[in-house]
Amino acid sequence: MPARFNIFFAWFFMFQTLAMGWVAATGRLLLETLGVATFEGDIPGRIVGALLLLLLVYLVMHFRGTLPPEGKPEGNGFRMGHRILLLGNVLAALLFVFHFFATGIEGYNTHLILNKFTTAFGYLAMGLFAIGFSLIYQSGLTEKS
């Protein structure tokens, strides 16, 4: 995965994980403004909210030219930072996708356990984003002797 895509999806999933309810509420608000009847926490609201967030992150990247942090590929920690970001992206994607399938899980205990695991994935993903961004940022700094 190229570095730009990794950072792009890290910014998307970071905001999606932090403000998941607000993103879904924004999508639901837009759908209801257009006349579509939705329920709180419904899948169409989550999808529309996620698409709006994806558009927002893309517009920032488009007008800015790139998304921070901007590291140097030959810098110390660049590759490790991107690997950590990729792991954070995978965990945040699991959290994001879980909410689409959560309503179809029949067993209460199964749903409870999966909900706790995916919530933990969100917390872990946020830490991985912080570490990955830090390593990538540090790879762009000049070395002092």
> Is residue 145, in this structure, part of any structural domain at all?
no
Here the contacts of 80-84 (C-beta below 8 Å, separation 24 or greater) are 80/135, 81/131, 81/132, 81/133, 81/134, 81/135, 81/136, 81/138, 81/139, 82/3, 82/6, 82/132, 82/136, 83/132, 84/128, 84/131, 84/132, 84/135
Report pLDDT digits (tens) over 105-141.
899 999 899 889 888 988 999 999 999 999 999 988 8
Least confident interval from 6-10, 18-22, 26-30, 73-77: 73-77
Mean of the per-residue pLDDT values for the chain? 91
> Is residue 37, in this structure, part of any structural domain at all?
yes
Q: Whole domain around residue 77: which residue ranges?
A: 3-139
Q: What is the mean pLDDT of residues 2-10?
A: 91
From residue 54, give the alpha-carbon distance in Å to each of 35, 60, 81, 90, 110. Answer: 23, 10, 22, 16, 31
Q: Domain count of the chain?
A: 1
> Is residue 121, in this structure, part of any structural domain at all?
yes
Q: What percent of the chain has pLDDT over 70?
A: 99
Q: What percent of the chain has pLDDT over 90?
A: 61
Nearest residue to 139 via CA among 7, 18, 10, 5: 7
Residue 41's pLDDT is what? 72
What is the model's pTM?
Answer: 0.89
Residue 83's pLDDT is what? 95
Give the integer Cα–Cα distance in Å for 116 and 35: 34
Please state whether 41 falls in left (phi above 0), alpha (psi between -120 and 50) or beta.
left
Q: What is the mean pLDDT of residues 45-70?
A: 93
